[in-house]
Structure 1
Amino acid sequence: MVKLDESLLKKYAQVMVQYALNNGEGINKGDTVFLVGQECAKDLFMAIAKEIYLAGGNLITHYQPDNVQDKSLTRFLLQNGSDEQIGFFAKPYWQGIVEATDHILFIISEPDIHFLEGLPSSKISMMNSARAPYMKMREKKEQEGKLSWSLCLYGTQSMADEAGLSLEQYWDQIIEACYLREDDPVKKWKTVQKEIEDIKDKLDALGIEKLHIKGDDVDLQVQIGEHRKWLSGGGKNIPSFEIFTSPDWRGTNGSINFNQPLYYSGKRISGVSLTFENGIVVASSATENEDALKEMISQENADKVGEFSLTDKRHSRITNFMATTLYDENMGGAFGNTHIALGNAYKDTYQGDMSAVTDEQWTEMGYNSCPKVHTDIISTSNRTVTARLRNNTEVIIYKDGQFILD
């Protein structure tokens, strides 16, 4: 087992508390943070908790036993519980959590990445669907500008094994990706964020109507839609180098293959291929766990695009597959990455006041609504992205893994 030294742990905690939360601004004195993590990540959990208190914040903890096959309560419930138990949702509790917190911080860590292996996808989907009201509560408060969230990663032997790395190599990717060897990683993150925001602002200024993504394994049209803006992580994920938007789902046409696996409901899905017609997935396949892919897409509105994203290789120090979406969707390497998410759209890509928009208006603008699913699928193969602008001109905006913008 690799343990971070105290200096790196403190820097990691400072990045999360002083930068990541509050959308890249860090928490304010008196803010309340809901901190979620498993036993295997205890040292980072404690370091973050202490950093929250040092910043004058308050803490609500959701500290969980490790999810490993022979001891996982989640697996036990799925194997032995009734449908009513699997679908149980304690609304007053979760409503209270959302009302009481200003920020939510998740430490992603899988002590056994295959702890749900062998269980029916339908039962896992039932359990995930039960949390949809919680996600809606969070989304509403976030739209009001009263809630922020962030994610970070704690490496385990199981995750390293899945990625084909030693645990030392796995942690080295985390340390490099999060700039933890910098003297002041918080300052470094703010500098990188400014550079990414400059790219984002140039994309907004172009007035893009539609994108054409073309490569050996992709020929896809994505309609951006009215009143959209591009976003960067802004602290919501650590690390985050992607620049993304939520397109008008109705204007997605063509085919795309993905050379990176994804994980859904505890299952690894590889070799994904999707074909869209007028925004809807009309053909899908996978070389591994295709049943899990089909189960995911069968959820209401999970057959539509909620996000389109590009990562510039010049910012990301992630060079290896990491077996977790948080890192894989931010991979740099030779060609950066393209990813789309099936399912729920990000409404903060709207240019105006989110809180003033009705559900009917979101629908009219082509924002996909799917609280049960938002699943990123990633490709690191080379591709060229051409934008058709509202003035009917075309310009290449992304090639060989980086943005090309004046």
Structure 2
Amino acid sequence: MSYQPSEEILEKYADVMINFALNSGEGVKPGEVVQLRVPEVAKPFLVALRRAVLKAGAHPLVFFTPDDMAREFFELANEEQLSFFAEKFHRGTVDQIDHTVAILAETNKKELDGIDSKKIMTAQKALKPYMDWRRAKESAGNYTWTLAMWGTQQMADEVGMSLEEYWEQIIEACYLREAKPAEKWKELYEKLYSYKDKLDALKIEKLHIEAENTDLWVKLGDNRKWLGGSGRNIPSFELFVSPDWRGTEGRIQFTEPLYRYGALIEKAYLEFKDGVVVKATASKGEDLLKEMIAVENADKAGEFSLTDRRFSRITKFMGETLYDENVGGEYGNTHIAVGSAYRDSYTGDPSSVSEKEWAEMGYNNSVVHTDIVATSNRTVTAYLKDGSSQVIYRDGQFTV
């Protein structure tokens, strides 16, 4: 039996995305241009999003993408086509837009199974200038983005849920049964920020993460602050930081499956030495994992994150990183992103920093940013700049 959320739910969902998530919790302003990137299967959400943009007095710029067309591209495209970059088109798009709303919705989660991973990464690498332009505009304070999900039958089938059960997780996670969901998000972010402020006040030099088959050190470095509650992802319950990649050392076992580039990676395991991945294994999708890490600077850490189980409203594995990197459950979660760092983790004005200075501070830069998640019980100990240490996370929650 098919299921679709009610018009009331969709209206609230769109309101959260347009009037809260963008502009870092402030919502869009009249006259701004909002890029809406929505797959074909999520058309009902596109209708609601465009309506919310128009009611806000802003300008919707719609990118409506057809389903189930990716595989043929990789089957037919030659090397030149794989690496083609529409420079004028992408440059004009970045110059034009003030915000982006991107919706995840899949009709075949394994559409690219069997496709040569080198082809997938060639196409991904071609987009690096576009990503750099967006990052520069964001650092200058002239661009924001947010990401959300539309549940499909195929996504629900993949994780053994009915479509209604799958949507129940989305509705609950996004506060869509509340009379004013945006107000609930603001309340949550106030609580999250109390922990963020405590972490920042500790002046952490490095973190030690201990769990089953995990013994990892992560150096935060200077000029860092913890992030969370910006509206960049809906839902988002995590606190995260972009570390100095050069100080990542040790090993970490990830527990959650990762759907990436139309394929599946299971039980990923990474070892770092002097900040660089020196060993990468997986019980499934190992070739793709290694090909991804082989991309320039994708073998370095760009993000370290913790989710407190008391805040997260996600209780089940969803098969989508947006949700799985925010799952609560018994022990919350930790995840590391290999690849690009978040430059808004910098304590100063990001727009005033040169590329050379970013590199000198250990902020990683890559076309890849892939979050890999572990839900095993872990203890995280902070070693502070004054020489003392303190456990900041245990049994799935912050202890600060």
Quick one: distance in 2 between partners of 1:193 and 1:318? 16
Of residues 210-219 and 145-154 in structure 1, the stretch that sits farther from structure 2 once superposed is 210-219
Structure 2 alignment gaps of length 5 or more: none
Q: Which amino acid aligns with 2:44?
A: D
Q: CA deviation at 1:359?
A: 1.1
**Which residues in structure 2 correspond to 1:176-215 (within 5 Å)?**
176-215=172-211
Quick one: distance in 1 between partners of 2:227 and 2:330? 23
Quick one: distance in 1 between partners of 2:262 and 2:128? 18
Which of 318, 329, 332 pairs up with 1:333?
A: 329
Which of 64, 80, 99 pairs up with 1:103?
A: 99
Q: CA deviation at 1:233?
A: 3.8
Of residues 74-83 and 9-18 in structure 1, the stretch that sits farther from structure 2 once superposed is 74-83
Quick one: distance in 2 between partners of 1:57 and 1:340? 36
Q: CA deviation at 1:93?
A: 0.9
Which of 268, 281, 296 pairs up with 2:292?
A: 296
Normalised to the residue count of structure 1, the TM-score between the two structures is: 0.97
Matched with 1:75 is 71
Which of 387, 390, 396 pairs up with 1:395?
A: 390
Determine helix, strand or coil for the equivalent of 1:342.
strand
Structure 1 alignment gaps of length 5 or more: none
Quick one: distance in 1 between partners of 2:279 and 2:75? 31
Matched with 1:259 is 255
Q: Does 1:381 align with 2:376?
A: yes
The percent of aligned pairs where both chains have the same amino acid is: 51
**Which residues in structure 2 correspond to 1:4-403 (within 5 Å)?**
4-66=5-67, 68=68, 72=69, 74-370=70-366, 372-403=367-398
Q: CA deviation at 1:299?
A: 0.7
1:246-268 per-position Cα deviation (integer Å, ceiling 9, x unaligned): 10111111111000011222111
Q: CA deviation at 1:218?
A: 1.2
Contact 2:112 2:261 in 1 (8 A): yes
Quick one: distance in 1 between partners of 2:78 and 2:359? 35
Quick one: distance in 2 between partners of 1:91 and 1:178? 36
Quick one: distance in 2 between partners of 1:397 and 1:25? 31
Quick one: distance in 2 between partners of 1:298 and 1:220? 21
Quick one: distance in 2 between partners of 1:21 and 1:217? 39
Determine helix, strand or coil for the equivalent of 1:231.
coil
Determine helix, strand or coil for the equivalent of 2:111.
coil
Q: CA deviation at 1:166?
A: 1.4
Count of residues in Structure 1 that have an aligned counterpart in Structure 2: 399
Quick one: distance in 1 between partners of 2:18 and 2:261? 29
Determine helix, strand or coil for the equivalent of 2:365.
coil
Q: Which amino acid aligns with 1:381?
A: S
Quick one: distance in 1 between partners of 2:299 and 2:40? 35
- Segments of 4+ in structure 1 off by > 2 A? none
